[in-house]
Amino acid sequence: MKTTSALRANVTTMDPARQAFLLLRTVFTVAPVLFGLDKFTNILADWTIYLAPQATAVVPLPAQTFMYVVGVVEVAAGIAVAVRPRFGSLLVAAWLAGIIVNLLLLGAFFDVALRDFGLLVGALALNRISRLPARQPGI
């Protein structure tokens, strides 16, 4: 049985690339799942205000129904990152690119678009780091 200090020492001496991989995989698993689930509850936000009219013109669904579809895709993307980070990270990056385009078409929430661009870069970093040779299970 390992002691707490032995476990802590193991984590702090872990390869920095492995630590970065675990951090990015965790964030890009949890965040899309939480945001996706919130599309059904609207606890965090009224997500329909972020939807450009052009989106519902292309996909003729009511805004809330559109957001339900978005929620399902986001949950699936988060699960994909957990199970297959190389694939899931590209799915999340593409999804974030779509969100950015939507916000630019809306002509508002440029701060959110900029934040999502940073997240997109993080998702691409996860994709790149997941291609490193695995020295430990999970990469």
* pTM of the full structure: 0.84
CB 100 within 8 A of CB 76: no
Q: Is residue 135 part of a domain?
A: no
Give the pLDDT score at 5: 66
CB 100 within 8 A of CB 116: yes
The Cα 102–Cα 123 span in angstroms is: 19
Q: Is residue 136 part of a domain?
A: no
Give the pLDDT score at 137: 55
Give the pLDDT score at 14: 79
Q: Is residue 103 part of a domain?
A: yes
Q: Is residue 134 part of a domain?
A: no
Q: Is residue 30 part of a domain?
A: yes
Give the pLDDT score at 45: 96
CA 57 to chain centre: 26
What's the structural domain count of the chain?
Answer: 1
Give the pLDDT score at 138: 53
> What does the pLDDT profile of the chain (139 residues) look like in tens digits?
566 666 565 666 778 999 999 999 999 999 999 999 999 999 999 999 999 999 989 998 999 999 999 999 999 999 999 999 999 999 999 999 999 999 999 999 999 999 999 999 999 999 999 998 866 555 5
Which residues touch 117 (CB under 8 Å, ≥6 apart)?
Answer: 96, 100
Domain, as residue range, for 111: 22-129
CB 123 within 8 A of CB 92: yes
Q: Is residue 109 part of a domain?
A: yes
Q: Is residue 110 part of a domain?
A: yes
